[in-house]
Structure 1
Amino acid sequence: MMAFKGFGPKAIPFLKALDFHQSREWFLENRDLFEQELRDPLGDLVDTLTQRFAEAGLGLRGDRKKSLFRINRDVRFAKDKRPYNRHVSAILSPDGSKAVQGVFYIHIGLEGCFAGVAWWQPEAALLLAMRRAIETWPDRFRAMVKALKKNGLELSAEDAMKRTPRGFEHVTDEDLVAAIRNRHFAVRHVIDPAGIHGPELVEELVDFTMRAKPLLDWGRAIEGRIAKD
Structure 2
Amino acid sequence: MSKIPKNAFKFLSTLKKNNHRDWMTEHKKEYLANEKVLKAFYASIEKSLNETDEISKLKVFRINRDVRFSKDKTPYNVHRSVSFSRAGAHRRGSYYLRLEPGKSAMAGGFFGPEPADLLRIRKEFEMDTSEIREILNQKDFKKTFNEFDQTYKVKTAPKGFNKEDENIDLIRLKSYFVVHDFKDEEVFSDSFQDNLMHKFQLLRPYFNYMSEVLTTDLNGVSLLK
State the TM-score, normalizing by the size of structure 1. Answer: 0.84
CA displacement 1:47-73 (0-9 Å, x = unmatched): 11111111123x33544xxx1111110
Matching of residue 86 in structure 1 with residue 78 in structure 2? yes
Q: Sort the Cα spacing of 1:73 and 1:111 in 2 relative to 1 into closer, same or farther, 3 A.
A: farther
Partner-residue secondary structure (3-state), 1:77: coil
Matching of residue 200 in structure 1 with residue 191 in structure 2? yes
**AA at the equivalent of 2:12:** L
Matching of residue 21 in structure 1 with residue 18 in structure 2? yes
Partner-residue secondary structure (3-state), 1:209: helix
> Where do 4+ consecutive residues of structure 1 move more than 6 Å?
none
Cα distance in 2 for residues equivalent to 1:69 and 1:61: 16
Unaligned runs of 5+ in 2: none
Partner-residue secondary structure (3-state), 1:172: coil
**AA at the equivalent of 2:7:** K
Q: Given that residues 50 and 62 in structure 1 are in contact (C-alpha distance below 8 angstroms), is that contact kept between their aligned partners in structure 2?
A: no
CA offset at residue 160 of structure 1? 2.0
Q: Sort the Cα spacing of 1:130 and 1:218 in 2 relative to 1 into closer, same or farther, 3 A.
A: same
Cα distance in 1 for residues equivalent to 2:190 and 2:48: 13
Matching of residue 138 in structure 1 with residue 129 in structure 2? yes
Q: Sort the Cα spacing of 1:144 and 1:209 in 2 relative to 1 into closer, same or farther, 3 A.
A: same
CA offset at residue 198 of structure 1? 4.3
Cα distance in 2 for residues equivalent to 1:166 and 1:149: 34
CA displacement 1:121-173 (0-9 Å, x = unmatched): 00111001000111123222222222366552322222222211121116521
Q: Sort the Cα spacing of 1:170 and 1:160 in 2 relative to 1 into closer, same or farther, 3 A.
A: closer
Matching of residue 166 in structure 1 with residue 159 in structure 2? yes
Q: How does 1:178-193 map to 2 (within 5 A)?
A: 178-193=169-184
- The root-mean-square deviation of aligned C-alpha atoms, in Å, is 2.3
Q: Sort the Cα spacing of 1:193 and 1:94 in 2 relative to 1 into closer, same or farther, 3 A.
A: same
Cα distance in 2 for residues equivalent to 1:149 and 1:198: 21
> More displaced, 185-194 or 145-154?
145-154
Aligned length, in residue pairs: 216
Aligned to 2:66: 74
State the TM-score, normalizing by the size of structure 2. Answer: 0.86
**AA at the equivalent of 2:160:** G
Identity of aligned residues (%): 23
Q: Sort the Cα spacing of 1:81 and 1:150 in 2 relative to 1 into closer, same or farther, 3 A.
A: closer
Unaligned runs of 5+ in 1: none
Cα distance in 2 for residues equivalent to 1:91 and 1:132: 27
Partner-residue secondary structure (3-state), 2:60: coil
Partner-residue secondary structure (3-state), 2:55: coil
Matching of residue 47 in structure 1 with residue 51 in structure 2? no
Q: Given that residues 156 and 163 in structure 2 are in contact (C-alpha distance below 8 angstroms), is that contact kept between their aligned partners in structure 1?
A: no
Q: Sort the Cα spacing of 1:83 and 1:150 in 2 relative to 1 into closer, same or farther, 3 A.
A: closer
**AA at the equivalent of 2:27:** N
Cα distance in 2 for residues equivalent to 1:101 and 1:80: 34
